[in-house]
Amino acid sequence: MVQSKSPPKKPARRKPQSASSSNAALQAPTGTPAIEWVAAALGAALTLFVAGVIGWEALYAREAKPPSIAAERLGVSPVSGGYVVEIRVTNRGGRPAAQVMVEGELMSPGVEPEVAEATFDYIPDKSAREGGLFFKSDPASGTLTLRAKGFAEP
């Protein structure tokens, strides 16, 4: 009976008192949080992996063998003004090569040989890059020879 006199006032007063004490936990975390271990473990794993790959390569994979570059023909498509021969250039040597010049010579019977060139910025060792050579006459009409002309040490 006594409570019914002023019911709206009481709950409003209590609220601020009960919420104040639980906030203190946010300020000073003492132990090492679990997520810190997870992040560090991830970092350690990634670093070991990376160092492993580089170290293995430093010790075994990189040979002193010079770049050995071969060009192969992928396909021919007609384009405006002639044909494009798509090529893949592979470096099977032990070192990367820069500014690799690849030349294609098209020998057709009765016509002067046609030469096209492409330069590949970088071809790492054991890697391939693709490009194309343009010719005016149809490569199917003659014999096309591809060769790498030279490179620079990166």
Partner 1 sequence: MQAAANRQYARGLSRGFGGALLFAFPLLMTMEMWQLGFAMERGRLLILLLVSLPMLLGLSYFSGFEQTFRLKDEILDALAALAIGILLATAMLAIFGVLGADHPLSENVGKITLCAIPGAMGALLAGKQLGGEAAMAARPKADGGYLGELFTMMVGGLFLAFNVAPTEEIVLIAYQMTELHTLALMALSIGLLHVIVYELGFPGEDLRRQTRGLRRTLLSFTVPGYGLALLISLYCLWTFGRLDGISLHEATAMTVVMAFPAALGCATARLVI
| SS3 at position 137 | coil
Shortest Å, Cβ 71 to partner 1:
17
Contacts with partner 1: how many residues (CB under 8 A)?
Answer: 37
Shortest Å, Cβ 94 to partner 1:
12
Shortest Å, Cβ 100 to partner 1:
13
Q: Say how many C-beta atoms besides its own lie within 10 A of residue 136's C-beta.
A: 11
Q: Which stretch binds partner 1 (CB under 8 A): 9-17, 57-65, 79-87, 108-116?
A: 57-65
Asked whether the beta carbons of 96 and 67 are under 8 A apart, the reply is: yes
| The token pair that represents 144 in the structure block | 């096309």
**Helix and strand numbers, DSSP H then E, in the chain:** 2, 6
Among 8, 31, 81, 109, binds partner 1 (CB under 8 A): 31
Q: Is 43 in the site for partner 1 (CB under 8 A)?
A: yes
CA distance linking residue 3 with residue 8, whole number of Å: 10
Q: Is 36 in the site for partner 1 (CB under 8 A)?
A: yes
